[in-house]
Structure 1
Amino acid sequence: MTTPLFSRGPTLGELDERARDIFRRIVETYLETGEPVGSRTISRAGVPLSAASIRNTMQDLTHLGLLGAPHVSAGRLPTHAGLRLFVDGLLEVGDVAEDERRSIEARLRAHGRNYEDALNEASAILSGLAGGAGVVVTPVRDGGVKHVEFVALAPDRALAIMVFEDGTVENRLVRLAAGVTPSALQEASNFLNARMMGRTVVEARTALRGDLDRARRELDVTAARLVEDGMAAWSGGGETERALIVRGRANLLGDAQALEDLERVRMLFEDLEQKEQLISLLDGVREGEGVRIFIGAETRLFSLSGSAVIAAPYMTGNQRVLGAIGVIGPARLNYARIIPLVDYTARVLGQVMNS
């Protein structure tokens, strides 16, 4: 479970109406522009107060820890605690446009029952629509294997297909040695089916370690090699070997305008390489329903880069959580747009996985 690095700041109830209105305008302007917000900007936005009165309120909000000043003479930026207060109490979440709903459903359902392609597509969808990096944690594969088959695609390539008892399908490309015949493909398929049916991938891999010597003795040389290559290809799916799919890293560079922004993006790229920590963070989403948001210093993983994560669980029709999907980007993500996108994509992905 993720441990917060800072205590929650003041609540909205502790702010009077003037402070609440100015705070909301500052955060909304910052999320739109990415720039520090000054009192003149707020005054021009229609607040019926003098610039001096607005500055005094901004100083009060700064003392409360909701705003910060990057430079002495600059305007103010919301702190991570300020962003949290805004997201929890002042954010007006939008809705997913009808054409985007149709696009998300069509793109995910186009992959049929190939869950791996659907997960990759879901990550790509979010990175494209949300503008950050789309991330997906693959499910814990606890269902048994129903069928295994090798299908020739070309003289040097075959598709290793594994069908699970829950109806999901995994495909892997396998390189073929010269001279592999259809009978060798069938022989390898039969050998694996006899030993994997009804077992999880982890159980089957453990059992097959002791059977590889037998395969080398009993099977054609090329068929035995296929058995080894097939098991090596199915490296994921176990509880300790889950995959993290990340798409859209390049989107993060488009928002970097200054050297300090580039440094934050560099640190975020390093964060994205921390596979185990990121999976652990997203697994925290599995414990509840709906969208979860982590902002900057709320997590150890993103405390330096100051990044934000918007994530939601995807689950089966009987509400069994399979994994998590989300968007990672700078703390000034467009929360109003991305929250419903993540929620809707997670729900459609769960329907596809359940079909």
Structure 2
Amino acid sequence: MSLLYPSPGLATLDARARDIFRRVVETYLETGDPVGSHTLARAGLELSPASIRNTMQALTQAGLLASPHASAGRAPTHAGLRLFVDGLLEVGDIGQEERREIDARLAVLGAKGGGRNVEEALDAASSLLSGLAGGAGIVASPVREAGVRHVEFVALGGGQALAVLVADDGVVENRLMNLAPGVTPSTLQEASNFLSARLKGRPLAEARHEMKAEMEAARRDLDAAAARLVEDGLAAWSGGAGGAGHDRNLIVRGRGNLLQDARAAEDLERVRVLFDDLEQKEQLIGLLDDVGAAQGVRIYIGAETRLFSLSGSAVIAAPYMSGRQRVLGAIGVIGPARLNYARVIPLVDYTARVLGRILDGQET
């Protein structure tokens, strides 16, 4: 066997090495435990444990398998997982029960028609995907290109208001805001009228930057409370100041699923690092935007993305697109590298397609 080179391709593995490698990876992904030669022998592999051990040792020397603990069992390295995913993974279709659940849960949002709330749809899709696939569901909001139709501040009581923005394409975005002292119903109306007049027909991202320059003049036309409300409203829709991606929303659901897979102290440390990674909003949005550029399911394992190199996590993500095949955003699952790729890939792909139809106003 030509197994002395690091991270070989499948063409360098003979039939025995390929079969043993596939069985090790599949067993590991199913159980999460290192796989020993006796386990493979008992599973029906017609070779002696000694012969299996020799092949596993060669695969280890090639960088495809490793011994994570002092035990004799082997687990795939990240390079081994990449080789398996690219060349040996058999991905089936999504199950009928899961398909019906996704359709039913997201179709409710699609039925809202012109009043659909994009954040509600994104939140539901992320939570649903997390529950079905395990791991954490993650989704980035679309880049807003439609012009603004209407802006309104609605008092909720208790010193809070809802900032409502309706776009020309019918999408509604809501933000909960804390009101400064002195804000009256007339102040809310004044701020609503001011923003509606200046934002109407203009994409929010474009108008927001221009509005910053106009705020000094606006303070002369508005009372102090209304001017503050206008500034707070613009900040709420932009997500605050920041760099690239600061005007985009990132929704992460199901962090608790990551703790369920932690089996040892090193697993808990990995999850702790992953939790820190999940707070890096701009980097996560950048990663999901890269997914959209590829227009297909993308898989990142461990150090293939700098963001998750320390936690050794995996990301499976797919873009959600409009009916005209314009990429709106991306949705995916983040979890340990031992994710069930064969099951999660079609789940992510189907959820992304349904979400795209919902946001595009089509029937599901």
TM-score by shorter chain over 0.5: yes
Task: Say whether 1:136 aligns with 2:139.
Answer: yes
1:222 Cα deviation after fit: 4.7
Q: CA deviation at 1:220?
A: 5.3
User: Which string of whole-angstrom CA distances, capped at 9 and with x for unpartnered residues, describes residues 174-206 of structure 1?
Assistant: 334567554443332221111011222233223
| Number of the residue aligned with 2:37 | 39
**Which residue in the other structure is 1:3 paired with?**
none
Count how many residue pairs are aligned between Structure 1 and Structure 2: 349
Alpha carbons of structure 1 residues 155 and 82: separation in structure 2 relative to 1, 3 Å: closer
Identity score, percent: 71
Q: Deviations over 1:209-237 (max 9, x none)?
A: 34444444434555444323322321249
* Residue number in structure 2 paired with 1:227: 230
Deviations 1:228-274 (A, max 9, x none): 33223212499641232211111111111111111211221222222
Q: RMSD over aligned Cα, in angstroms?
A: 2.3
1:119–1:138 CA contact under 8 A, matched in 2? yes
In the alignment, is residue 30 of structure 1 matched against residue 28 of structure 2?
Answer: yes
Q: Which has the higher contact order (CA 8 A, sep 6+)?
A: 1
Contact 2:6 2:62 in 1 (8 A): no
**Residue aligning to 1:107:** 105
Give 1:298's match in structure 2, choosing from 292, 296, 304: 304
State the distance in 1 between where 2:40 and 2:286 align. Answer: 40
1:321 aligns with 2:318: no
Alignment of 1:1-355 (within 5 A): 9-71=7-69, 73-111=71-109, 112=112, 113-154=116-157, 156-176=159-179, 182-219=185-222, 222-236=225-239, 240-241=245-246, 242-355=248-361
Q: Which shifted more, 92-101 or 321-330? A: 92-101
Deviations 1:61-112 (A, max 9, x none): 1222211122454211111111111111221223322232232233234333
Report the alpha carbon displacement of residue 27 of structure 1 after superposing the two structures with TM. Answer: 0.6
CA–CA distance in structure 1, aligned partners of residues 6 and 252 of structure 2: 30
Pairwise CA distance, 1:164: 1.6
Residue segments in structure 1 that go unaligned for 5+ positions in a row: 1-6
Identify the range of structure 1 (239-248 vs 280-289) with the bigger mean alpha-carbon deviation.
239-248
Q: What is the letter of the counterpart of residue 103 of structure 1?
A: E
Q: Would the aligned equivalents of 1:141 and 1:239 in 2 still touch at CA under 8 Å? A: no
Distance 1:178 1:305, change over 3 A: closer
Give me the TM-score of the superposition, normalised by structure 2.
Answer: 0.88
Comparing 302-311 with 173-182, which one deviates more in the overlay? 173-182
Change in CA separation of 1:184 and 1:147 when aligned onto 2, cut-off 3 Å: same
The answer on whether the counterparts of 2:142 and 2:329 sit within 8 Å (CA) in structure 1 is yes
Asked whether the equivalents of residues 155 and 178 of structure 1 are also in contact (C-alpha less than 8 Å), the reply is no
TM-score (ref. length: structure 1): 0.90
